[in-house]
Chains A and B, each alone.
Chain A
Amino acid sequence: MSGEHAPSTPVAAERASLLTPFNIVTGLIVFVGLILTILRFTKGLAGVTNLSDNNPWGIWISFDLLCGVALAAGGYTTSAACYVFGLKRYHSAVRPAILTAFLGYALVVFALHYDVGRPWRLPYPIFYSPGPTSVLFEVGLCVFLYLNVLFLEWTPSALEWLGLKKWRNVMVKMTLALTIFGVVLSTMHQSSLGALFLIAPSKLHPLWYSSYLPVFFFISSIAAGLSMVIFEGTLSHRYLHDKMDDHYLSTHDQVHLGFARGAAVVLVIYFFLKLVGLALDNNWHYLLTGYGAMYSLELLGFVALPALMYAVGVREKNLKIIRWAAVITVLGIVLNRFNVSWFAFNWQLPAAERYFPSWMEVAVSIYIVTVGLLVFRFIATRMPIFYEHPDFKEAELEEEEPHEHETRPHPQSFGH
């Protein structure tokens, strides 16, 4: 850390520091990703994927789109908690969550360029030939609009970094409007990602097919968002500690406790909603089948268990349990999205006609996540994400005890 803000680092030392294990691994992943990109756009989808006429959607939709959007839900949940519900003690969590969500959505769109047949036509549904009877139209429109909202919500950090005071203040004034717009759009497309599968009752296993699918997707996205904030906060705390100011660090545990409390409640609600869905469609008898085992695992191991862990963690103020609960919840969301769009989809096809991703599909997904990680690190090490820019203290904080947390400017605030 001491060497980092010496303004005149020798070029040689800088070069040596580039060959870190992190850089080598990510560099390799990006290199493979670029090769696969060339392959995808010269050999077609058949050249890199195991997709087929029976299995038109693979892991790029299951993971990159469905999981990506769900796990980026921290943006709307955090900003809603802070700005709409007035829980200002979570203020320090807003910027990291917004940045993650913005990058998450940007990567979803980036990933779609690999999956769809003619990516340059992606604006068509919105600007050229809309098909409003389609749930996918709703998803596309909301994701497009929300990506713009997230970009605008993120701009204050960039404008502070660039020192553009006037524009930054204009953007900050729009915070409430953007937050509300963001929550509306998120509600719609988080749920409509579930609604995508409503049209295929004959293909999705009855344990996962439900007219409540949109509600399930929406409620679980809140749990995902809250858990991702805890999960990422823990990772950032470990790896980007030196970029955090005292205010962020002093509220860190408090934020995690609060989010854990919220996640526990949401997971319990989600658990009972799932049971209601099971009861309404009278699907109990499926529980004793192989798919029933998978369903029980998802519901007991990845919803009920983390809910309990969160509750215990909050009661005993045990952040360790809370962080494990966050990891399990995040994995549970991934499992649920995989179940709906992959494991339990096309369940009636014979095993030989089922889909399993090629290594290249998995590699492209890893490459896309890596790109996201690199951009996140680039921004978080330069812009005021984990600390408040000394020139721009949030006014509302002054309303609280102003002397409790003296925000000290970070030595690297002007990270040019």
Chain B
Amino acid sequence: MQRRQFLGLLGATAATAVLGKPAQAGPKHFTGYPDSYGVLFDATRCIGCRRCEAGCNRVNHLPAPARPFDDLSVLDTKRRTDGRTFTVVNRYETAKGIVYRKNQCQHCLEPACASSCFVAAYDKTPQGAVTWNEKVCVGCRYCMIACPFDIPTFEYWDPLAPKIMKCHLCYPHITAGKLRVPGCVGACPTEALVYGRRADLIREARQRFHLFPGRYLDHIYGEHEMGGTNWLYISGVPFSQIGLREDLGVTPAPEFTSGALAAVPIIAAAWPALLLGIYAISQAKDKAARQEKREALKEALAKAKAECDAELAKVKAKAEADKKAAIEREVKKALEEAAKAQAAKEEGE
């Protein structure tokens, strides 16, 4: 997943936003590592003998199955890979009779498991295999959610160190020189399995279409499904009839989440600015409101004071006038009384 590594570590999100590193492959289209290897499965050749299962079990030292590999009655029920089995063969009743199909990890060119792993435990090797690293896996099982082919399995019974189990295309054995081809391919008696460069396998499949007209559908399953896989299938019956979903589309899994991940640095950069802006506005609003209140209060006080002063002055003036009038009245009264007394006196004389 190095190719799409665009999100840095702690804090690097902001740096990404600043540097403007392209988050996506953009117009570029990844067609897989050149010269990567894969396997071509030919459903018209598979006889359901389960030798591939036995070969896989042997080279990977997996526990012995409950029923031996030559017991073909297990084909009566549909099986899937599990924590003790990297590959299974299933039998399908189709319009063209019984068809067998082997199932295992498809080794996508751009694996969903790898892009979904939050500890980068998965690795898409340039040789084609998708491998899993026990040393870092937390056991969150998001890869199992993500895989469109339902391939990774989990050792649910292990309380302390459960592992994710899945086909690794015998990558460790082949790189160590112990094997030339994967265990299943080496065990196949009918050459229903061919190991080789992916480009050569596609050419080989086309050649078979050409050599045996009417035998195959003109479709190499895995050439484009989910962006392409290193494991390829050809068949004489529609793939949906042998348990391969035909509604997966051709979009590589990482592209489903790339938009959401690309939004992360934008949020990291834009949100604080937006929130601080809102904060500043609310503060300014509060401040303005307080200021307005204070001014209104001041004004009201001033007005009240002025009114009060005016009232006081009025009262004062009135009191003054009253006082004056009272004095005048008293003086007048006194004068009148004096005048009256004077008159009385004059009369008495």
Contact = CB atoms under 8 A, between A and B. Distances in A.
Interface stretch (B48-56, B170-178, B206-214, B266-274): B266-274
Contact of B154 (A56, A80, A184): A56
A124 B119 CA distance: 7
Given A53-B81, A116-B139, A130-B120, A44 B267 contact: no
A241 to B, nearest CB: 32
Interface residues of A, number: 66
B339 interface: no
B116 A199 contact: yes
Interface residues of B, number: 70
B261 A56 contact: no
B282 interface: yes
A159 interface: no
Given A138-B264, A203-B145, 19 more contacts: A45-B162, A46-B156, A51-B154, A83-B279, A85-B278, A86-B285, A116-B140, A117-B158, A121-B138, A130-B120, A134-B116, A136-B142, A137-B7, A180-B271, A181-B272, A199-B145, A200-B256, A211-B259, A214-B263
A2 B285 CA distance: 45
A117 B139 contact: yes
A184 B146 contact: no
B34 interface: no
B26 interface: no
Interface in B160-187: 160-163
B115 A134 contact: yes
A124 B136 contact: yes
Across the A-B interface, give the 7 residue pairs with the lowest CB-CB distance, nearest first: A117-B139, A86-B282, A132-B7, A56-B141, A131-B120, A195-B260, A56-B144
B115 A188 contact: no
Contacts of B249: 201
Contacts of B146: 199-200
B317 to A, nearest CB: 38
B144 A134 contact: no
A133 interface: yes
Interface of B: 1, 4-10, 80-83, 112, 114-121, 136-142, 144-146, 148, 150, 153-163, 245, 247-249, 253-254, 256-257, 259-261, 263-264, 267-268, 271-272, 275-276, 278-279, 282-283, 285-286, 290
A203 B80 CA distance: 17
Contacts of A87: 282
B91 to A, nearest CB: 17
A130 B119 contact: yes
A126 B248 CA distance: 32
A125 B253 contact: no
Interface stretch (A35-43, A150-158, A309-317, A379-387): A35-43
A139 B117 CA distance: 12
Contacts of A192: 260, 264
B257 A195 contact: yes
A188 B10 contact: no
Nearest to A187: B267
A131 B177 CA distance: 30
B138 A188 contact: no
21 contacts: A46-B157, A54-B80, A56-B144, A86-B286, A117-B154, A117-B158, A121-B138, A122-B138, A133-B4, A133-B5, A133-B6, A133-B114, A137-B7, A138-B7, A183-B275, A188-B267, A188-B268, A199-B115, A199-B145, A199-B253, A211-B259
Contact of B159 (A40, A136, A191, A203): A40
A211 B160 CA distance: 37
Contacts of B161: 117-118
Interface string A166-184: 0000000000100011011
A347 interface: no
B257 A44 contact: no
Interface in A104-161: 115-119, 121-122, 124-126, 128-141
